[in-house]
Amino acid sequence: MVENYIRKSKYILGASLVLLALLFCSCTPKEEKTAKPEKKKFALPVQVGKVVYRDISDEVRTVGNIQAERRVTITSEIRGKVARIAVEEGMRVKAGDLIAQIDSREYELTLEKLRADFSASQNEYKKAQGGLRPEDKERLDAQTRAGQSSLDLAKIELKRTKKLVEEKVVAKSALDSAEDKLRQAQEGLIASQAEQSAGMKSRTEDIEKLESEMQAIRKQVEVAELNLSKVNIVAPFEGVIIAKDIEQGAIADSGMAIVRMIGSSRLKAVLEMPQSYRNKLKKMKTARFLAKELGLKFEYRSNLAGLVRVIPDANIFSGNIKVQIDLPDPNPAMFPGLTLESTLNFGVRKKVLHVPAVSLVISEKGTVVYIVKDKKAHLVPVKAFKEHDDFVEIKDFTHQLNADTDLILRGSGAVFPGANVFLTNPEPKTSFSSASKAPRKTPAKNPKT
């Protein structure tokens, strides 16, 4: 009985193990399927396009105003009472027109006196050039002749005395007296000749002195004439009086301001533009202007490099520069202070990178575009410039954009770096843009709601 019991127990135990094994094998696949279900991937729908390379006209539009080429403060060159102010503020004047007048009476009297002094000096000089006075000349000639006669007589007497002394007719002392008279006659003649020469020499010095005095008076006359010519203050060029700095009846010192004026014959346009155009100014092709107040359009095409100058001080807030462009032969209707709108053309830039405006995204990292790489959105930082016909000129810092790049257009504002995307237009066109100008359809007359 024990053996039967043991045999039955082994049989029951084996059957139980088989049953458990079958049950485990049937349950295991179901548990695995329940533990690891497949996840569905999330992806954003996008439309893509291509970048384009365009030849664009390199232009800058700016606003400025007209200024006068010449601005001057007219001053008095002499001291005196302002007898007349001949202009008013805002008056147009031509070169040489009378501006103001200084009282001329004092300068006229001074010139008249100096002219009289000069005339008297001329007369004295002419007399001196004529030589010694006749009476002085006669006296000196007479003295010289008398000295010569005395010398001749002393020589004859000495000769006679020597003969008488040899003949022992007179004493030897008479010979000494005769020789002494000869020496006195010689000295007298020398003295007369010296006086005559000194008289002539002093007259020459007098002539030189008179000539020097005459030249000095002549220069004083010229200065007086110049001062008299300065009593009339005239306009140095054609222009407009913008301010009066003195009134009639006031005393003006030399150098004191009388009026201020600006030239109207030469005008210049002063414009403000980005610093990046500084080095392009010498290559400017065309400068077009519009004066809205006058409805006046004009342009310059030749010699622009010679008309343009950069004003050194830049705007510290905007970083822009000021540019001055001369306006030769301006329209007579234009005037300083007039507002000008300008378009400056610097030629054509070839193959400039552009993207559709809709592809640009403003993010925390600045302006970016998104491209598709391995079915994911990839961020590309760019710098945006001007927009041309719904395309924006950009600069690609990282050089990731090219003609084969899939650029995200619609949906660019919703994607983020690394996001899965799927294309809704599998064959993008280069010219695609969300703002593309499609032909408009004519609406039906009775549209149905």
* Most confident among 101-115, 116-130, 188-202, 304-318 (mean pLDDT): 101-115
Give the residue among 64, 94, 75 at the shortest CA–CA distance from 263: 94
Range of the domain at 252: 80-103+231-262
CATH number of the domain where residue 368 is located:
2.40.420.20
| Residue that is last in its domain, among 349, 380, 409 | 349
Please report whether residue 14 resides in a domain.
Answer: no
Residue 440 pLDDT greater than 80, yes or no: no
The secondary structure of 32-61, three-state, reads: HHHHCCCCCCCCEEECEECCEEEEEEEEEE
pLDDT, tens digit, 9 for 90 and up, residues 279-289:
888 889 999 99
Residues 315 and 399 in one domain: no
Please report whether residue 165 resides in a domain.
Answer: yes
Residues 338 and 290 in one domain: yes
Burial of 341 (0-12, 13-18, 19+ CB in 10 A): middle
The pLDDT score that the predictor gives to residue 407 is 93
The pLDDT score that the predictor gives to residue 22 is 52
Question: Do 61 and 216 meet the contact criterion of CB atoms below 8 Å apart?
Answer: no
Please report whether residue 43 resides in a domain.
Answer: no
Domain count, the chain: 4
pLDDT, tens digit, 9 for 90 and up, residues 329-352:
888 888 888 999 999 999 888 999
What pairs with residue 358 in β-bridges? none
Residue 5 pLDDT greater than 60, yes or no: no
The vertex-190 CA angle with 188 and 196, nearest 5°, equals 105
Phi, psi (degrees; rounded to nearest 5) at 263: -80, 140
Which residues, 6 or more positions from 412, have their beta carbon under 8 angstroms from its beta carbon? 46, 358, 359, 360, 361, 369, 370
Whole-model pTM: value is 0.45
Residue 83 pLDDT greater than 90, yes or no: yes
Residues 112 and 222 in one domain: yes
Question: Do 75 and 355 meet the contact criterion of CB atoms below 8 Å apart?
Answer: no
Question: Do 186 and 159 meet the contact criterion of CB atoms below 8 Å apart?
Answer: no
Cα–Cα distances in angstroms (integers) from residue 240 to residues 71, 99, 336, 339, in the given order: 10, 11, 10, 18
Residues 254 and 399 in one domain: no
Please report whether residue 66 resides in a domain.
Answer: no
The pLDDT score that the predictor gives to residue 428 is 56
Residues 236 and 330 in one domain: no
Residues 215 and 150 in one domain: yes
Average the pLDDT over 74-89 and give the result: 93
Please report whether residue 318 resides in a domain.
Answer: yes
Residues 251 and 361 in one domain: no
For the ranges 81-95, 217-231, 293-307, 314-328, the lowest mean pLDDT is seen at 314-328
* Most confident among 15-24, 290-299, 409-418, 437-446 (mean pLDDT): 290-299
User: At 155, is the secondary structure helix, strand, or coil?
Assistant: helix
Residues 336 and 397 in one domain: no
Average the pLDDT over 62-79 and give the result: 88
Residues 256 and 117 in one domain: no
pLDDT, tens digit, 9 for 90 and up, residues 400-424:
999 889 999 988 888 889 999 988 8
What pairs with residue 60 in β-bridges? 344
The pLDDT score that the predictor gives to residue 340 is 93
Residues 302 and 325 in one domain: yes
pLDDT band at 431 (very low <50, low <70, confident <90, very high): very low
User: For residue 186, what are its two tokens?
Assistant: 């010689």
Please report whether residue 359 resides in a domain.
Answer: yes
pLDDT band at 1 (very low <50, low <70, confident <90, very high): very low
Question: Do 147 and 191 meet the contact criterion of CB atoms below 8 Å apart?
Answer: yes
Please report whether residue 39 resides in a domain.
Answer: no
Phi, psi (degrees; rounded to nearest 5) at 422: -135, 145
CATH number of the domain where residue 277 is located:
2.40.30
Residues 225 and 113 in one domain: yes
The percent of residues in the chain predicted with pLDDT above 90, rounded, is: 35
pLDDT band at 52 (very low <50, low <70, confident <90, very high): very high
- Label residue 223 left, alpha or beta by phi (over 0 means left) and psi (-120 to 50 means alpha): alpha
Residue 20 pLDDT greater than 80, yes or no: no
For the ranges 93-97, 380-384, 437-441, the lowest mean pLDDT is seen at 437-441
Residues 402 and 331 in one domain: no
Average the pLDDT over 151-172 and give the result: 81
pLDDT band at 369 (very low <50, low <70, confident <90, very high): very high
| Residue that is last in its domain, among 322, 349, 376 | 349
